[in-house]
Structure 1
Amino acid sequence: MSKTKGFITEFKKFIARGNVLDLAVGVIIGGAFSAITNSLVNDIINPILGIFAGGNEALSGLSFQLPGGGALMLGNFINAVLNFLIMAFAVFCLVKAVNRLHRKKEEAPPPPPQPSREEVLLEEIRDLLKERA
């Protein structure tokens, strides 16, 4: 019984950490963005590439019949590659932007240098001379 409670407590701590929540948000947004890239490839890029592939049909329909039955679905493979490249480029741009923000935070101006021993002594002498005058 105590092993179960310890496991549940550990699991709660794990879920409450910020990284897990950030990851969950990233997965949800990634899934939504995946639908956008699928639509971009299937509804916009595919018909345009289909014009060049011949037959004026979507590239996803490009297939070659194999001897003995079956088909080599080259168009679907090209769609998957295009989806991957678009998603990889978007993730690259996102990571690059986040890294730039982190660098700006880290590049805070350094504190002004401490005055040297001679400067401190000269300031003390100046202050003493002001007091006498």
Structure 2
Amino acid sequence: MAEEKKGFIKEFGEFVARGNVMNMAVGVIIGGAFSNITKSLTDDIISPILGLFGGANFDQYVLPLSGDAVISYGKFITAVINFLIMAFVVFWLVKTVNRIVDKATPKKPEAPAAPTTKICPFCKSEIALEAIRCPHCTSEIPKMRPASEG
């Protein structure tokens, strides 16, 4: 039982130490901090500016139901604005990083495609690579030896 536990702990340690898990953890932490920045941008800057045109802050828009119960649809609008800002910034960041990576990555020349046709030695028409008789002049095509056989 103790040996199984050590194996499990070792396996878990290897799992956590993998780059993907660590990258994801860093991303979640940075995403949480970025979410706070985006929320502050929306709540403290954008909503008050938009409130100048509408006369009120979005967070104050509510739909009273009964008694103290209300639907705070203004807070939902603020959350949608937060999401759109965050999505735009993340899109911009990913696009910028991809552009930088593309410029830094050396381009490999594409290998030419394997030929699918050959030239008939008699009539010089283009024919299928596997052809043993030319469909144009009906000549029998001699089997060509590969260049490596010389």
**TM, length-normalised to structure 1:** 0.70
Distance 1:15 1:24 in 2: 10
Q: How far off its partner does 1:109 sit? A: 5.7
Q: How does 1:1-133 map to 2 (within 5 A)?
A: 1-54=2-55, 57-66=56-65, 68-69=66-67, 70-108=69-107, 110=109
Number of residue pairs the alignment of both structures matches: 108
Secondary structure of the corresponding residue to residue 14 of structure 2: helix
Secondary structure of the corresponding residue to residue 28 of structure 1: helix
Q: Which amino acid aligns with 1:20?
A: V
Distance 1:29 1:10 in 2: 27
**TM, length-normalised to structure 2:** 0.63
User: For structure 1, which runs of at least 5 residues remain unmatched after alignment?
Assistant: 111-133
Identical-residue share of aligned pairs (%): 56
Q: Which amino acid aligns with 1:30?
A: G
After superposition, what is the alpha-carbon deviation per residue over 1:18-75, rounded to whole angstroms, capped at 9, x for unaligned?
Answer: 1122112211211111111111111111112222333xx3221111212x33212111
Moved over 4 A (4+): none
Secondary structure of the corresponding residue to residue 94 of structure 1: helix
Distance 2:21 2:93 in 1: 19
Distance 1:11 1:100 in 2: 36
Distance 1:42 1:23 in 2: 28
Secondary structure of the corresponding residue to residue 108 of structure 1: coil
Larger radius of gyration: 2
Distance 1:21 1:75 in 2: 37
